[in-house]
Amino acid sequence: MNMLLAVHCGAGDRKPTKKHLKTLGRALEIGYKKLIEGAKALDAVVAAIAVLEDSGIFNAGAGGILQMDGARRLDASLMDGSDLNAGSVIGLEGIRNPIKAARLVMDLPHVMLTNLGAHKIALAHHLEPLETPSGKIMAKLEKIRRTDTETGELYKRYFSTVGAVARDSERNVAAGASTGGVVAMLPGRVGDTPIIGAGVYADTRFGAISCTGTGEHIIRMSLAKEICMNIRNMPPRAAARLSLKNIVSIGGNAGIILLTEDGGAVIMHTTPYMASGYVTKRGCFVWEGMHSDK
């Protein structure tokens, strides 16, 4: 069975630029190189997501959206399908690569850490600090604050969280995701991304999935786990379509990348765009959205 790495850069209604797609391609390349070198699926997922966090052009790591009080509180999670080990960080401040912090949590007896402990562990392992937001970013936040009546609408429109799923040479799968959250969120808000079973799920017996979209709806449906369990009894595309339809029916929007146990991959979203792509030995494919499954 082929090794495979798939990446998404958030479901939303903004058309990804060439720069977004190029950076996505670079993340695929770097993650896939790890797989070729014999790394575990989990390590390929971390490597790909770290590239996207570092780029500063997605809503993750250096580009994470600010909460309404001006702080960047970042979320990330990881799950290894070979043993169901998982790690996540919630509301992490001042660290550039929350996905690397989530990886550190996997080596602890815990699954989730909030900023209180996650930050200490990240510093102890010398993870890179995050620069303070520029004046331009603060001005953007100020504009959002002033258009308060539209924040509900803004919340529904802009995403660009990042995520990845991979299958390694041992046929094991892993999933990960990283985000700054959503536009116009209250301080302390936590979305689906760091919640195992909502934003990500991986079990080598079934598949691996990473989600993006309106976090509150994704949490309420336990979207990642639901799809991963449904693919035991129905074709993967049908399982994804059914759950995404249900998300829309409760007022949300979402996108997913899914690897299945038999070697297949599904990319699907309810929004006009979701920059995404995958790489196998046949090549690297990147696009701005899969319109056929809207």
Please report, as residue ranges, which positions from 124 to 163 form the binding site for ligand ASP (by CB under 6 A). 159-161
Residue 179 interacts with ligand ASP (CB under 6 A)? yes
Amino acid at 24: L
Contact 133, 109 (CB under 8 A): no
161 is catalytic: yes
Residue 176 as a binder of ligand ASP (CB under 6 A): the answer is no
Closest CA to 76 of 107, 106, 33, 120: 106
Spatial CA neighbour of 6 closest among 51, 61, 49, 67 = 49
Centre a 10 Å sphere on the Cβ of residue 148 and count the other Cβ atoms it contains. Answer: 11
Which of helix, strand or coil describes residue 266? strand
The residues in 236-275 that bind ligand ASP, with binding defined as CB under 6 A, are none
Residue nearest to ligand ASP (CB): 215
The pair of three-digit structure tokens given for residue 287, joined into one six-digit string? 């696009």
Q: Is the dihedral of CA 288, 91, 32, 260 positive or negative?
A: negative
Catalytic residue among 114, 151, 161, 214: 161
- The nearest distance, CB 152 to ligand ASP, in angstroms, is 14
Return the range that interacts with ligand ASP (CB under 6 A); candidates 19-27, 78-86, 189-197, 280-288: 189-197
Whether residue 12 contacts residue 271, with contact meaning beta carbons closer than 8 Å, is answered with yes
Helix (H, G, I), strand (E, B) or coil at 22: helix
Instruction: Give least dist CB 98 to ligand ASP, A.
Output: 12
Contact 60, 49 (CB under 8 A): yes
191 interacts with ligand ASP by CB under 6 A: yes
Least Å distance, CB 276 to ligand ASP, is 12
Q: How far is the CB of 86 from ligand ASP (least distance, A)?
A: 17
Which 8-27 residues touch ligand ASP, going by CB under 6 A?
Answer: 10
Number of residues that bind ligand ASP (CB under 6 A): 14
Distance of alpha carbon 216 from alpha carbon 67, whole angstroms? 16
The 35-64 contact track toward ligand ASP, x by CB under 6 A, reads: ------------------------x-----
Distance CA 104, CA 143 (A): 36
Enumerate residues 6+ apart whose C-beta is below 8 A from 94: 119, 129, 130
Do 134 and 208 form a contact (C-beta atoms < 8 A)? no
Q: Is 188 helix (H, G, I), strand (E, B) or coil?
A: coil
Which is nearer to ligand ASP, 40 or 72 (by Cβ)?
Answer: 72
Q: How far is the CB of 29 from ligand ASP (least distance, A)?
A: 23
212 binds ligand ASP (CB under 6 A): yes
Q: What are phi and psi of 102, to 5 degrees?
A: -60, -35
Pick 3 or 255: Cβ nearer ligand ASP: 255
Asked if 91 is part of the footprint of ligand ASP (rule: CB under 6 A), the reply reads no
Does 97 help bind ligand ASP (rule: CB under 6 A)?
no
**In the bound complex, what is the minimum distance in angstroms from residue 228's beta carbon to ligand ASP?**
17
Residues known to be catalytic:
161
Summarize as ranges the residues that interact with ligand ASP (CB under 6 A): 10, 59, 159-161, 179, 181-182, 191-193, 212-213, 215
